[in-house]
Amino acid sequence: MKLIVIGSGGREHSIIRKLKENPEVEVIYVLPGNAGMRDLAECVNIKATDIEGITEFARTHEIDYAVVTPDDPLALGAVDALNAVGIPCFGPKKNAAIIEASKSFAKDLMRRYGIPTASYEVFSEMEAALAYIDTCPIPVVIKADGLALGKGVVIAKTREEARNAVCSMMQDKAFGDAGSTVVIEEFLEGPEVSVLSFTDGRTLVPMVSSMDHKRAMDNDEGANTGGMGTIAPNPFYTPEIAEECMNTIFLPTIRAMAAEGREFRGCLYFSLMLTKDGPKVIEYNCRFGDPETQVVLPLLKSDLLTIMKETTDGTLKPEDVVFADGAACCVIMASQGYPGKYEKGYPIHVEESVKDRIIYAGAALKDGELVTNGGRVLGVIGLGNTLKEAIQDAYQNTEKVSFANAFFRRDIGKKAL
C-alpha cells in the first residue's frame, strides 16, 4: 500500500513510525514532513494547507490511503477533497472538523446536548463583550473563536487583563479573523487530562489517557507553548472517571455530531478538566494531539493502519484497539527562546543507542547533516513499567542528545507522581 501523511511535526513522525509496522505498507509520503523522518518516509515539499497540491499529488501517485492530522487542512476540507478524487482518508470532513475550528460551535453543541463544560457567552461585538466583563466573575477566560495556533486563550485574573484580551483579539486582530468572535467563559480548576479517541461516528474507543505540559518553564511557569512534554497514562484519570466521561461526554458528543448531520470519523481529542463538580470539557480537537501522540502510540499494541481504516469504513471494533499496561514519557527539547524568537541551523547529535527514541518535530538537512529547524526540535521518549520508570528513562535518554541552544523542562510528569 502507498500512503500519504499530511503534516510535519512530531505527531506525524510518531504516526509514521507506527504505520510502518504494518508489512503491507510499501511507502509513506509525508507532505511536507521534516528531515528527521526521512528514514521512514519520503518528504514531499507540498504544504499541509495546499489542498489542491495534496489532492493532485495523491491522485497522480495512486495513493491508497491518506492520513490528515493537522487542524488547518482538516478545517479547510482536505478529507473532502481527497475523498472527491476517490482516496479514502483518516480524519473528519470539514463539517465535522468545525468542532475544533470554531469554539463557539463546540460550546453551543455542548450547551444544546447537555455535555458538561464551563459556562460561557459568545460575542461578536466588542462593546457587548466589554460590558459583560464589567460584571462577570473573575478570573475569567477569553478565547478567540477560530484556530489560533493554540495561543488564542487568555486566563485573565483581573478585569483590566480581560478587557485588554478582548481589545487585542477584537480590535487589534491579534489572531486575525479567528478573534473577530470571542468566547468568554467561566474559569475552571482541577487536574487536566487529554483523552484521544478513535471513532467511526457511532463507536468510540478511547486511547490511553495523557497529560500535556503547555508552559515553557518548570513548575508551569513561562509562556504557553505547543506542549513541552507529555506522560501517559494520566494517573488522575481513574477507571471511575473514565466511565463517567464515556457516558456524560464521549458518547453524547459523537451522538450530537451525528444528530447534527456532522458525523465525526477519525481521532476526536477531548481536553478535560476534572473539577470538583465532575469532568468538564475544556475543548475538543478534531485530530491527534501533539505531543500527546508521542506517548500514546508507543503504548498501542494493535496495528494503527487497521484501526484507522475501520474509522474510515464505519467498522470500528473496540477489541481491535489494545494498549499495553506500561507508561511513556516524552520530553521536548526546544531551541532557546521558543515560543518567542529563536535561532536555528545547529547540528543535532544523537547517540545510536537512543535513535529509536527520538521523534523529530523541527529538523532539516544542511550539508548532509541533521540540524535544528524549529522551536520544538525533537521529543525524547522514555518507556517503563511504571510512570516513574518511563520518566527516568526519558531523562536518561536526553543525556544522549545534544544541540546548541537546547533547553527542556526538568519536571515533565512530576505532578503525576
Which residues bind to ligand GLY, rule: CB under 6 A?
A: 150, 212, 227, 285, 289-290, 292
Which one, 214 or 400, has the nearer CB to ligand AMP?
214
Nearer to ligand GLY, 150 or 191 (CB): 150
Q: How far apart are CA 264 and CA 279, in angstroms?
A: 22
Considering CB distances under 5 to 8 angstroms, the limit depending on partner class, which of ligand AMP, ligand GLY, none binds residue 169? Answer: none
Q: How far is the CB of 234 from ligand AMP (least distance, A)?
A: 13
Q: Which is nearer to ligand AMP, 49 or 271 (CB)?
A: 271
Which of ligand GLY, ligand AMP, none lies near 310, with the C-beta cut-off 5 to 8 A by kind? none
Binding site residues, ligand AMP, CB under 6 A: 118, 141, 150, 153, 155, 185-188, 192, 214, 271, 282-283
Q: How far is the CB of 177 from ligand AMP (least distance, A)?
A: 17
The Cα 315–Cα 294 span in angstroms is: 26
* Residue whose C-alpha is closest to residue 204's, from 153, 262, 247, 233: 247
Q: Least distance to ligand AMP from the beta carbon of 185, Å?
A: 5
Q: At what angle do helices 126-135 and 159-170 cross, to 10 degrees?
A: 170
Partner from ligand GLY, ligand AMP, none contacting 187, C-beta within 5 to 8 A by type: ligand AMP
227 binds, among ligand GLY, ligand AMP, none (CB under 5 to 8 A by kind): ligand GLY
Distance CA 267, CA 205 (A): 10
- Shortest Å, Cβ 122 to ligand AMP: 14
Please state the closest distance from residue 221 (CB atom) to ligand AMP, in A: 14
Locate cell 484519570: which residue? 237
Of 326, 342, 335, 338, nearest to 381 by C-alpha is 326
Q: Crossing angle, helix 94-101 and helix 251-259, to 10 degrees?
A: 130
Which CB atom, from 143 or from 309, has the smaller least distance to ligand GLY? 143
**Vertex 144: Cα angle to 142 and 148 (nearest 5):** 130
Sign of CA dihedral 305, 311, 315, 318: positive
